[in-house]
Amino acid sequence: KLELRLPSRGIYCDARDARESPPPASQAAVRSGCTTAEVMEGLDGLKISEDKKKYIVDSLNPVLEEMVADCIHKMPQDPVLFMLEWLEYKKVNDEDKKLSPEEKERLVQENKKLQADIDKVKSQMQECAKLAAGDGKKEDSDEEEEDDDRDKRKGHSKEKHAKGKGREARAGG
């Protein structure tokens, strides 16, 4: 038995049966050691409207109680991250329960198609990367060949230039 106490707020509840995954919201009230009246009584000391008290009891308390019980049960290294993931998991499960079997099957098929599209695009990107890497090597070797050709032409023209000066000197130019 796990007891959650918020004495500064006058709230004393116990959370039982911490589970690996969030139970349905309908079980939250059953798991709680507090009745709605007890929670409302604890909230009476707060200066908030009856609407807000009802919201706390009916909406917030069941979710928070489940989440805190799971968090305490698992004692995660990063409780904030755990609670964020827990809430996301709960939201997805609650939304999934609202889907008809046909809608679920349609979504499964759509997800498979999207995954196939992702795999295809990844494959194309890898192929492009290989081609780009191969072109880069080819461009490097092409540039080196062009540099060699340029050097040879320059060397050849330097030789002609030197020979021309030698002729001029002999001719008395």
What's the rounded mean pLDDT across residues 125-133? 92
Is the pTM here over 0.85, yes or no?
A: no
Number of neighbours of residue 55 by Cβ within 10 angstroms: 13
Of 35 and 2, which is predicted with more confidence? 35
45 pLDDT exceeds 90?
no
Q: Coil, strand, or helix at residue 11?
A: strand
Could you report the per-residue pLDDT of 57-110, keeping only the tens digit for each? 889 989 999 999 999 999 999 999 999 999 999 999 999 889 999 999 999 999
What's the rounded mean pLDDT across residues 140-157? 66
Distance CA 121, CA 62 (A): 44
Distance CA 8, CA 79 (A): 22
Instruction: State residue 11 phi and psi, 5-degree precision.
Output: -110, 125
